Structure 1
Amino acid sequence: MSDSESAPNSREVTETPEVEVEEQTKGDGKMTMEERKAKMQQLRAKMRSSALANRKSVIEESAKAKVSVRDAARLEKQRKLAEVLRSKADAEERGEDVERQKNWEWTIEENEEWEKKLARKARRADFEFHDDAHAARRRYKKDLDQLKPNMADYNRQKEIALGLAPGTLAKSGASSSSSSITNFDPSGGLQVAPTTHQQRLAADSLYRDANSLLYADSKPSEDAIDRVVAKINQDVDKKRKFSRKRANEDEGDITYINERNRVFNKKIARYYDKYTTEIRASFERGTAL
């Protein structure tokens, strides 16, 4: 009895301090009203700061999204201008010539190409209409600037015509220079005499003269056809959107719908204006009978 009865009592004795400790901790964990208010203010301050930070980030992202390509190009142009002005100011402080220092960055070939470009631009600075031949020549020159020959295809045809191994001209760097077009002189004979029938046909097809009987045997590629169609569509669209004020257009009321109607109205006015001027003025005043 002593052992069995003493065991529950010992458990009760050991459990009583734990319950008291838990009650004490619960009592200590209770917050007063002032502490709760302070805690609430801290939470509200954190929420307010996080909301402001989120709003600031959203505004920055929307501002970045509004910057278009044109604005980016404008900013880049302003940045380059600022760099140029800064370099000029630094060079003036050191007593150096800015233009001379800038010209050191260009090679002789680049300088010659730039001078040719300026000369070509000066020749084409006359935008007035002289005659149809002049306008056609200007158009031809402008289209010729956009022409990009296929040097790889040309070198391949030239290799067949000269009897060279495939890839010879490409390996020698002829495709990257303009001399590959003028290296061969058909009047002086082939560099390598065409021995096979295929080479003779290739030579006759590539270098034709006035005595050649070959005609309309070249089949363009699909890419070349697409480029021609795109160029034609571009010209048609540009012509459709073209509009300018004529130099001989009379100022005043617009009484015509097109150029042909304008000329017709001008002819009619030449003969009948002296009879209809008073009638038209009365209609405009609202006093016509």
Structure 2
Amino acid sequence: MLKAGTSKSVQEEVTPTASSSKVPSAGSSESSAGPSKTKTGGDLKAERMRKLKDLHLKRNEARKLNHQEVQEEERRAKLPTNFEARKRRAEWILEDEDRRTKCEAEGDDYDRVKLLNVQADELERINRLKARKKNPDEGFSTYEAATARQYKRLVTNMKVDARNYEEEKEALGEEAFYAGKDTLIHGLHKDKPENIDRMVQDLEKQIERREKYSRRRTHNDEADIDYINERNMKFNKKLERFYGQYTSEIKQNLERGTAI
């Protein structure tokens, strides 16, 4: 038979073992529930494939946009350097002509209506820029420079009608409109009467302007030398031109020695 103290100690030893046996059971339940929340190998592979597909699509889209940008850059490189400025200028001319036509239809003075929308300081700035860009006549230097200045002046004074230009281009076609050395254009172009009149008026203005010019006088070796330098020669010529008819008799008397 066991003693009472012995049975009590045995009971105390059995109790902790029972409690310790219950703990693993709870842990085992949690560990069994854990793998159900984690992703399996198939899910991870599917997610990675989806991300890889998205990267491929983005790469193809970037490649397409880069190709389009390269084509646009090549197109801009082939255009003239001042293409954008010329385009804005042409658009402004068309808008200005539309506003002028509208004002004329309403019976208003377009120049006055246009000035009403321009500030005074802005108008002064525009006038200063125009005065600065104005190129005075520098005289004759070479025949090539004179021809270039005349061409530039004629082109500057020429007013281009953009609408008629496009209409004639569409009517003739680009091959005949931009004729080359092998293009037969006889009978295709027909000048309008107003264009012929404008050309005649321009030629008449050129003739009048040319008549005002004076050629450089050649040096006359037999003429009397009454000057000490070129500047004094020009001054004496001016005096002779304005007062020669009044002093001719005095000059003759001085040359004969009969002057009193």
Same fold (TM over 0.5): no
Higher relative contact order (CA 8 A, sep 6+): 1
- What TM-score does the superposition give when structure 2 sets the normalisation length? 0.33
- What TM-score does the superposition give when structure 1 sets the normalisation length? 0.31
Q: Which of structures 1 and 2 has the bigger CA Rg?
A: 2
